[in-house]
Amino acid sequence: MPTKITLGAFHTLGVGAKWYLTEDPMRYLDLQHWIDTVKGYEEAGLDFVFFADSYGYPVLHDHVIPLAVERGIQFPAADPTVLLTALAATTDRIGLVTTVSTMIEKPQTVARRFATLDHFTKGRVGWNVVTGSGQSASALLFGEELTAHDDRYARAEEHVQLSLELWEGSWEDDALKVDAETGTFTDSSKVHEVEHDGTFFKARGVLTVPPSPQRTPTLFQAGTSSRGRQFAADFAEAVFVAAEPDTVTKQIADIRDRLEANGRGRDAISILAAGTFFVAATHEEAVAKREAAVGRTSLEDAAVLYAYFTGLDLMSMDLDKPLAQTNSDQGQTNIDRFSGKDGAPALTVRQILEEFQRNSVMASPFVGDPIEVTDQAIAYIEATGADGFLLQPEVAGGQDDFLEFVLPELRRRGVLNESQPGLTLREQLFGAGNNRLPETHPGAAFRKNSIPA
C-alpha cells in the first residue's frame, strides 16, 4: 500500500484531441471556465494543476501539416502563463504549474516572471522546464535552426543554473528592510550582483524581485530520454512519466539511481505517472466510454500527432517494419518508447500508429467501476514506485469521472496526499517546512549568508 498518493490535473490551453465531442470546443479561451475548473480541483483536494505549453504544432518538411489544422490536432493553442494570476486570485491551496521552454525565454525573463508569480500565489507556483515540444515548428516560427537534442539539454542546464543564481543568489534572506523611519528599503550590502559568462547566456546584475516564499519555483520536468532523466536527476523536484508499467518501473529506478549518485537522495523527486481513467458506475459503462473515445481517431490522425512529438513521418514508412529512424532532434522520448530501449518491445510502424490511435503519448488507461479502477491505480503505484498521477483529460472519461468515482474511494482507503491550506507547492509535495530548495539541490550552492528558511 502506498503511503500517500499525489494528484495533479493536466491541461493545455487548446481545443483538445476530442473537441468534436465537447459541447463548447472554444471554452479553452473562456477565463471563467478555467477559474471554475481549477476551483473545483482545489475543492476536491488535488495537489496541483499543470498547464502544458509549446509554441510548436505538427510540422513535416518545414510546413504545418494541413490535416493538423483541419482536425484540430495540437492546434490551435493559447498561452497558459497569463492564466496564473487569475487562478492565484481565486484559489488559495492548489499548486499552479506551467511550462516555459529554455529554448524560447531567457533565464533573466523566466526568473523575474516566476519570482513575481511566486509572490502572487503565496508560494504555489511551479515551473515545468522543457527544451521544447513541437520543436521544428517552434524553430521555424522564430526563424532559427533546429538545435540538436543533446545541445538543447546543454542549453537547458545552463538556463536553469543562471535562473537559480538569480533566485537564490541575488538577495540575502534579511536584505529587505522597508524601514520608513531610517528611509532604508533594502540593505544594499545584502543584495549581490550575479555574474555569469557561459556558453549560451551572459549576465551581470541583480534580480529586482525581492525573495518570494519559495525563492525558486518548484521545478518540474517531463523528458524521459536518457539525457532527460539525467537532467531530472540534476535539477528536477517533480517528474512526469508516461509509459506502460514495466517501462515506467525501469525509468523510475534509473532516475532514483541517478539522484543517489548526485547526492540528492532517492526521494528528492516526486514522480507522477500520466493516468487516463475511464470509470463509471459499472464496468460495462466504463468500457463503452473507452470505446467512444477511441472510435473517431484515424491512423492518419495518429501519424500527425506522432510527427508533432518526433518530427517523423510514419505514413511514409513501411507500416509492417520497425521505425526506419531511431533518432530525432525534435524529440526522443516517443522514439525510445517504441524502439526497444529501456526493455520495451520494438514495435512496427503500424503498431506504433495503432498505439497512438488508442492512447496517444499515454500508457494504457485504467478502465472499470470505481473499485476496479482504484485497485488498478494502487497496484500501478506499488508496482512502479511512482508517487502519484497526473490526471489526463478525456471527453468520454477522465478528470471529472476520476473526481466523482475514484477520489472518494482513495480517500476512504486513506492513501491521498490531501492539499493543505497555507503550504507552498514544495511543502505540499515534500512536507511542511520544506518551502525552500533543500541543501542537497545544486541551487542551494548559490545562497549567500542566508538565514535558515
- Rounded distance between C-alpha atoms, residue 422 and residue 434, angstroms: 13
- Rounded distance between C-alpha atoms, residue 374 and residue 379, angstroms: 8
Three-class SS of residue 367?
strand
* CB neighbour burial string for 388-411, b if at least 16 within 10 angstroms, e if fewer: bbbbbbbbbbbbbbbbebbbebbe
Q: In degrees rounded to 5, what are phi and psi of residue 29?
A: -100, 15
- The pTM of the full predicted model, rounded to 2 decimals, is 0.93
The residue extents of the domains of the chain are 6-290+363-446
Q: pLDDT by residue for the chain (453 residues), tens digit each?
A: 446 999 999 999 998 777 887 888 899 999 999 999 999 999 999 999 999 999 989 999 999 999 999 999 999 999 999 999 999 999 999 999 999 999 999 999 999 999 999 999 999 999 999 987 777 888 889 898 888 888 999 999 999 999 999 999 999 999 999 999 999 999 999 999 999 999 999 999 999 999 999 999 999 999 788 899 999 999 999 999 998 899 899 999 999 999 999 999 999 999 999 999 999 999 999 999 888 877 778 899 999 999 988 889 999 999 999 887 778 877 787 888 887 766 667 889 999 999 888 888 888 899 999 999 999 999 999 999 999 999 998 655 568 899 999 999 999 999 999 888 999 999 999 999 999 999 999 999 999 865 444
Three-class SS of residue 293?
helix
Q: In degrees rounded to 5, what are phi and psi of residue 198?
A: -110, -170
Burial class (CB in 10 A: 0-12, 13-18, 19+), 206: middle
CATH superfamily of 6-290+363-446: Luciferase-like domain (3.20.20.30)
Q: Specify the pLDDT at position 343.
A: 64
User: For residue 397, is it left (φ>0), alpha (ψ between -120 and 50) or beta?
Assistant: left
For the chain, the helix, strand and coil percentages under 3-state DSSP, each to the nearest 5: 45, 15, 40
Three-class SS of residue 386?
coil
The angle, 0 to 180 degrees and rounded to 10, between the axes of the packed helices 149-169 and 226-235 is 10
